[in-house]
Every structure is written in C-alpha cells, then in structure tokens.
Structure 1
Amino acid sequence: MRVVFAGTPEFAVPCLDACVQPGIEIAAVYTQPDRPAGRGRKLAASPVKEFALAHGWRVDQPENFRSPEARQALASHAPDLMVVVAYGLILSQKVLDIPRFGCWNVHASLLPRWRGAAPIQRAVLAGDARSGVCLMQMEKGLDTGPVIDCVELDDISRETGGSLHDRLSACGAQVLARQLAQLVATRARPASRAQPEDGVEYAHKLDKAEALVDWRNAAAAIERKVRAFNPWPVAEADVAGERLRIWAADALPGSASATPGSVVAASRDGLDIATGDGLLRIRELQRAGGRRMAVLDYLNARPDLRRPAA
C-alpha cells in the first residue's frame, strides 16, 4: 500500500510515524516550503520535513498544486492513499482524485464542530467540555468530508492550547494507525458517515490581536483565553502600569468593587485582578523582554504591589 503523507507542523509528526507499519510503503512526504524563522530569519525546515529526512524518505515541497506539473509529480508516486495532517494547503478535486483510495485527513475536533484552521484553541476558548480527533475522507469543501473514525476526549476543562494539542496529536496517530491497518487488511475503502448539518462551527485562524485581554470581560472568559493562547500567541494585558504576558491564571468566585484591571491583592499565591465579573488570579507571567516567571518572582521586583490596591 503506497502512501503519500502531507503535513507540516509538530502536530503531524506522530501521524507520519503511525504510517510506519507492515504493508505500508511511504512513497513520498509533502510539506510546506522552508520558511524564515527565529531572530535571524533563516530558512527552517518544518518538523515533518526533519522527521522525514531522518528516516530517509523523499520530501517534496511545492508551493501548491495548481500547475499540471505539480499534480503530475504527485501522480508519479503512484499513491494508493494520501494522508493529510495539518498540511496548510486546500486540495482541489483534481488532487483528491489522484490516489486510488482518495485522501484521508486527520482533524483535531469532533466534526462538524470546529472546521477550519484553529480547532484546538477555539475549543478551549469556547469552554467546550470535550474534544477529539476525526479521520475523514476528504472532499472539496473545507473539512466537510464524511467521517471514517473518531477518538473522543471527555474532559478538556483544564487543558491549555499546548496540552490539548499534544493529547490530540497522539489521538490522531492512534486513529490513523488503526484505520491504516484495516485498509491494508481489506484493500477496500472504509465505511464512513456524513457529517450532520447541525452544529457546524468554524475555527478561524488565530490573530495575535485576539490575545489582548479586556478586563471588562468575565474572569472565566479571560481564564479560557489564557489557557487557549498558551503557548501561542499568549494572552497579554495591562497590569499595574505595564504590559504583561499571562501564561497561567485562574478565575475566582466573588466580586470586587475595584475598577476592572485593578490589582486587588498580591501574594505568593498570585496576583488578583478585578474583572467585569469575578477575579482573575495570575499565577505565571512574563514582563516585556523577560522570561516566564512565577508571580512571587515578579513581586520581588514589584514590592509596590504587595499591598492591596486602594
């Protein structure tokens, strides 16, 4: 069974590893072209490319598949199946029709909820109780294809964007490995179910501007933002006269008479900030140009905050 894999970020690497099993030949690995990264803005390979090269697999990096030459190059690999995981390109029907069994996509949500670019962070931001991974048969629409298999996570109430990313990445590899083994055994396209028309939500791409905290919002909503945007783009807020990045925080019950954004208490347990509804206790933060630190370390540099605000 000749498989072409298409993926780019770290999320896709466990799925590529899951393709290494009896009866599977990885014909080629597709990933986004090298992009500038880091302070030096030097071209950097994607995590998928690094993993593929370390295993001696062929790597192709076309900008897109619009040209007949790019599609012909894909067809030359004679793929039985193309597995797509966070690749970063929308594939046309001409591309989807090339592999014998079409294209499978591993998507980090319980479809049809959170179709689109940022399903993990949107689930945390919305306060979803559960999440999961779906393996679907790709079609031309954006994440609209019939679902082959799913893995569900029942409680994501304390997850960050980063921790949920890691759990769902592992789940994606699990469901993909299971269905690849089945495909090798049966040599038949697997059964699938159409996505329901109700419950569709779109997970729009994250924008750094969204990371700015509005203290007039409820503490519970701000806490979800802090968790969703950890580790990127990281929530930011104006606190006690300076802009801070907030890495960890908890919503506290109760109310404060202080103006939203005011520091109402400061101790080794955290920095308590008044919000539009309840208090937000900041536990980890980062000053401009500084490192991530616990609140106690921050207070050592800001002794003026140790007294409750007036």
Structure 2
Amino acid sequence: MATTDVKYLGLDLKSPIIVSSCSLTADVDKVKEMESCGAGAVVMKSLFEEQIRGEVEFMASAGHSYPEMDDYLHAYIRSNSIAQYTEKVRALKDAVSIPVIASINCYSPGEWVEYARQIEAAGADALEINLYDLALDPRTSPAAIEDGYVSVVRSIVSELKIPVAVKIGPHFSSIVNFVDRIASAGAKGVVIFNRFFTPDIDLEKFCLVPAAPLSHEGEYAEILRWTAILASAVKIDIATTTGVHSAESALKMILAGADAVQVCSVIYKHGPAVIKEFNGKIAAFLEKNNVESLSQIRGRLSYSSIPDPAMYERVQFMKTFGSLAL
C-alpha cells in the first residue's frame, strides 16, 4: 500500500503537506483540526522583528522619551512578545502530536539568538527563519545584505540543536549561490518562496490599498523551476510555498525535488478538510503508478534528472507567443 510519509528537516511527517505560517496556526483548535485532517506539520505564525521594533517606537513616541525609558520599553516589549510566543509553542505541543515548527521574521542577530534558544526550550521541533528586509538605501550593496542574512542564520544555527529552515523570497541575483551559502551556514532546509505583502492603488479613492492577500494556482510555476534547480545544485531540504492549490500541483513540486509542500491560501478558501483531499489524491497517484512511497519519485523530474534540462533554464519566450496570432 502506498504511503505519503516523508522526512523533512530530519522530522518524520505522515504527509508532505505542511500548513505554512499564518494566522490559522495561531489557533490551537484550528491546528488540532489540521492534524485530524492529515497535516504533516504546522508552521506557527511568525514573530516579527519589524513589529516589535514598531511597538517600541510607538510607545516611545507616546510620551516624553529619554534613553533609560527607551531601553526599558525595548526590553519589556521584546521580553513580553517572546514570552507570549513561547507560551503558544507549549500550548500547541501539548495539543497535537505532529511537528510544530516555530517561525521568526528577523534580519539582524542581536537578541534573536537568545529568543531562538527560548523557542527551542519551549519545545518547538524546528525553527523557520523568515528572512527579508526591504532595502531602500541606494548605498547598501546586495553583497552586504546577503552577508547580513547569512550572519543571522549562522548565529542562530550555532546556538540551537533543533533543525533550522530559512524562508526566502525570489529576489536574489543568484538564488543557487545564496541557498548554498545558508546551507554552509548550517541551515537544514530552505522554503521557497515567500509571498510578500504588496500594495495596490485605488483609483476611486486615490489611496494605497493592500493587493489580494491570497495566492492563486498559477503562482507555483516559477517555484517549480527553482525547486528543480536547487534540488540538483544544493544539498538542503526543500519546502515549497505559494500557489499550491491542488494535489496535482503538490505532486509536481515533489517530482521537481521538494521534500515537503507548504499550503495556506487553499486552506483559507476551502478549510482544513482540503488537506485530507490532497493526501487521498497523492496516495491514489502513487498506487496508480505502482509506487510505494514519495521518496521513490521525489526529484524524478529535477534539473539533473532529465535528459534535456533546457526547459528549466529558459526564461525568455521564443516560440510560445511567437506562434500565437490575434
């Protein structure tokens, strides 16, 4: 009988389907429902460095600020935030048996190394570092930004025993090089790609508004390309995220080389029961093709596993649109 078991970050998962970091995973009852529907693991809602800094600045601006008060507010808000987060880790670990992956969004080491230790001590099975800072200073070089990211990863990994994955966006000049660097810094996994908040413009009200927050099916294609390439180029576990709205697209990611597939928007749209549907269709696919486990097909269509990988390399349209007529 076919099994959907996989291994990711050294963790044994009963399904390759992981619920990605979102507000849903902050709710213990919802996470219990996700487990009952067959989720392999959950990634907790992220603890954001940006948000904590913003709270400190807001509190400081609310009164007459002075250095001692700023230091106190900084320490109190950070300490309170991490205390609440570690309590949530404990609550989830007490409630479910599937792996609970904590998540922090940070772009500077500092106290985050100590906070990562506290998250580990609270019982998290792994840690996902969500790395991204929108660089607006034209004097800041890409190399300096990447060096900073790698420094964060190395600092945190060196202090933890639990595995660390790094969630990145697609905006790197050389994705393969950067992923290789974080692997060398000790990261056990990479999550590709983060779907960022994007603004839009309301033409009626002449103001900025949030763009559609949920992904759609067509967004997985570029992630498929880089999954296939990274699976062949870097020794690191790969979890894909963004644009997976069906069992078929999840299977495509695994064939390209993904160890696990993170989903979020499809759960917001259809509820946790969609995970059970994914698992059923994945198992049916394996049985139909006389395959016993996902490990037997993982990476079968990765960059290095196919006779002509040029399709993965091609980024400019040559024939597709050239053959179309209006």
The TM-score range, normalised by the shorter chain, is under 0.3
Question: Computing the radius of gyration over CA atoms, which structure comes out larger, 1 or 2?
Answer: 1
Q: Pick 1 or 2: higher relative contact order, CA cutoff 8 A, min separation 6.
A: 2
Q: Flag the structure with higher helix content.
A: 2
**TM-score by structure 2 length?**
0.26
Q: Normalising by structure 1, what TM-score? A: 0.27
